[in-house]
Amino acid sequence: MMDQLPALQVMLPMVAAPLIVIIRHPFWSWLIATLISVCACWVSWLMLQQVVDGSIIRYAIGGWEAPTGIEFYVDRANAGVALLVSGLSSVVLVYAYHSIKRTVDTSKHYLFYAGWLLCLTGLIGMVITGDAFNVFVFLEISSLSTYMLIAFGSDRQALVASFRYLVMGSVGASFILIGIGFLYAATGTLNMVDLAARIPDTESPRAVLVAFSFLTVGLMIKAAVFPLHGWLLNAYHHAPIAVTAFLAGTATKVSLYILVRMFFSIFGDEYSFGYLLLNWVLLPSAIAAFVTMSLVAIYQTDLRRMLAYSSVAQIGYILAGISLATQQGLTAAVVHMFNHGMVKATLFMAVGCVLYRAGHAHIPSLERMMSRMPFTTTAFILSGLGLIGVPLTVGFVSKFTLINALMEKGWWPAVVMILASSVMATAYIGRVVYLMLFREARESSASGEGYQEVPLLMLVPMYALLALGLYFGLFGSQTLGIASGAAESLLGGYQ
């Protein structure tokens, strides 16, 4: 049983998805999806326990040993990411029950939850697979179901957002496919460990270079790195809010993880950063992301859109950590992946609660939220502080590590930019908090009768995630320990 954990991790949601389609009952499909997701989370927790000391699980699918067969390769880095994905999926699924009732027709609930599980399958599969082509297959499983989930959004713009994501996402995935093809042509293998071993003495370095470029651009599209983030804004804005909370915490993070895996483990940091000078591509785009996107976020009138812009900015921080190519920089990137995943999911869940009662997320109309929905507002403010990076919150832990790593390298201008963008984050979160706490309701607004708090099933998961965030903010050394272990595994390449 313990030997089969990596396979179970992917099989559970994959088998449950068609089961849900057969059952077709809205409540039961929700329950099955949630239970399966919790099981997957438990499995990834067990897996993390096995590898946290630095050991590696290599699981040969069907008994075909690598490099002939396909294998799952689990180490500290990807077991952690798998836990993040399955954990967030479980929490948000519990939350989704009431939230989805508002936006999706009851007769389509079973399709929604089946799509969710397929998306989870794809994301976990991408993370733990050790085969380059398998990454593409799982990527498409998750992307196709994501297009479907986004199209479930309540207004018609969700359809356009989904179509746009489909076009950009497919181009990105096709680029990845081309890259994998060239890698195979140059080395004759698809296994990642084998690729890492064979790339240095390939006979066709140009094919490897082409593969590297295509893979980088393709993954940057999927990860919504700054100039290629166009699909993200509308998709996050118009998707059902539970989907946004799930995707914001996981989908881009998984692509970033694959990007890191590729830079450091497959091609090696000497090739990516020493020979190709990738940090001169990544760092400018990272800085541009967190400065311009934070600035744009200040002027948004819709809460969801504001947070979507802030997501692109936060991806910039992660990318800045990656571009350092040092142990500490990578630690900062990994820890920020986790922290931002938790914080952004909580924030979007809080926005979902506002949407559930108020029916809109128009920022200027959110005055006096504190007296109308005290619990939701408190959760929003606390995780908002985490997003800004106030001391004692998770955001502080990761930003502090990142700034330390940048100073170690002596990149002072980047440090100044991070501080500037933190000030902007204070502005866009602070503006909302001010409205929620202090501004008097306008006479003209018809919503004077006041809202009630949302159902308990929405509040509990939100507060669970918030508590986890606060815990990791106070005891940051724990996540930092795991993250630095993960960074070590990534930098060390494949053994």
- Tokens matching residue 45: 């927790």
**With respect to another protein, which residue has the nearer C-beta, 181 or 455?**
181
What x-and-dash track marks residues 179-218 binding another protein by CB under 8 A?
A: --x--xx---------------------------------
How near is the Cβ of 185 to another protein at its closest, in Å?
A: 5
How many residues are present in the chain?
495
How near is the Cβ of 176 to another protein at its closest, in Å?
A: 10
Q: Within 13 Å of residue 181, how many CA atoms lie on the same side as its CB?
A: 7
**With respect to another protein, which residue has the nearer C-beta, 158 or 337?**
158
How near is the Cβ of 192 to another protein at its closest, in Å?
A: 15
How near is the Cβ of 169 to another protein at its closest, in Å?
A: 9
How near is the Cβ of 316 to another protein at its closest, in Å?
A: 26
**DSSP single-letter state for residue 439:** P
With 0-12 / 13-18 / 19 or more C-beta atoms within 10 angstroms meaning exposed / middle / buried, residue 478 is exposed
How near is the Cβ of 8 to another protein at its closest, in Å?
A: 23
How near is the Cβ of 177 to another protein at its closest, in Å?
A: 5
**With respect to another protein, which residue has the nearer C-beta, 309 or 317?**
309
Region at 238 (left for phi over 0; alpha for psi -120 to 50; beta for the rest): alpha
Q: Considering CB under 8 A, how many residues would be counted as binding another protein?
A: 25
Interacting span for another protein (CB under 8 A) from 54-62, 178-186, 192-200, 252-260? 178-186
d(CA 266, CA 492): 11
**With respect to another protein, which residue has the nearer C-beta, 83 or 219?**
219
By CB under 8 A, residue 40 contacts another protein: no
Q: Which of residues 471-490 bind another protein (CB under 8 A)?
A: none
Q: Which of residues 224-243 bind another protein (CB under 8 A)?
A: none
Residue 475, SS3 per DSSP: coil
Q: Which of residues 111-170 bind another protein (CB under 8 A)?
A: 133, 136-137, 140, 144, 147-148, 151, 156-157, 159-160, 162-163, 166-167, 170
| Dihedral sign for Cα atoms in the order 130, 136, 139, 141 | negative
Q: Residue 453: count other Cβ atoms within 10 Å of its Cβ.
A: 15
How near is the Cβ of 178 to another protein at its closest, in Å?
A: 6
**Residue of 11, 28, 98, 174 interacting with another protein (CB under 8 A):** 174
**Residue of 21, 23, 39, 177 interacting with another protein (CB under 8 A):** 177
Give the residue from 257, 236, 360 showing the smallest Cα distance to 310. 236
With 0-12 / 13-18 / 19 or more C-beta atoms within 10 angstroms meaning exposed / middle / buried, residue 450 is exposed
How near is the Cβ of 191 to another protein at its closest, in Å?
A: 12
**Residue of 178, 276, 298, 441 interacting with another protein (CB under 8 A):** 178
**With respect to another protein, which residue has the nearer C-beta, 233 or 283?**
233
d(CA 298, CA 305): 10
**With respect to another protein, which residue has the nearer C-beta, 178 or 435?**
178
**With respect to another protein, which residue has the nearer C-beta, 167 or 423?**
167
For 222, phi and psi rounded to 5 degrees? -65, -30
d(CA 246, CA 379): 17
**With respect to another protein, which residue has the nearer C-beta, 161 or 324?**
161
**With respect to another protein, which residue has the nearer C-beta, 166 or 243?**
166
How near is the Cβ of 129 to another protein at its closest, in Å?
A: 14
Give the residue from 405, 353, 385 showing the smallest Cα distance to 469. 385
**With respect to another protein, which residue has the nearer C-beta, 75 or 140?**
140
**With respect to another protein, which residue has the nearer C-beta, 35 or 207?**
207
- Tokens matching residue 116: 């969710």
- Tokens matching residue 266: 């497959």
d(CA 392, CA 385): 10
d(CA 344, CA 232): 14
At 59, which helix (H) or strand (E)? strand 57-60
How near is the Cβ of 422 to another protein at its closest, in Å?
A: 30
Rounded to an integer, what is the distance from CA 23 to the centroid of its chain? Answer: 30
- Tokens matching residue 406: 């940048």
For 44, phi and psi rounded to 5 degrees? -70, -30
How near is the Cβ of 136 to another protein at its closest, in Å?
A: 8
- Pair 48, 42: CB distance under 8 Å: no
**With respect to another protein, which residue has the nearer C-beta, 173 or 429?**
173
- Pair 228, 221: CB distance under 8 Å: yes
Distances (CA, A) of 181 to 160, 176, 185, 198, 493: 31, 9, 6, 15, 22
**Can you give the binding site for another protein, defined by CB under 8 A?**
133, 136-137, 140, 144, 147-148, 151, 156-157, 159-160, 162-163, 166-167, 170-171, 173-174, 177-178, 181, 184-185
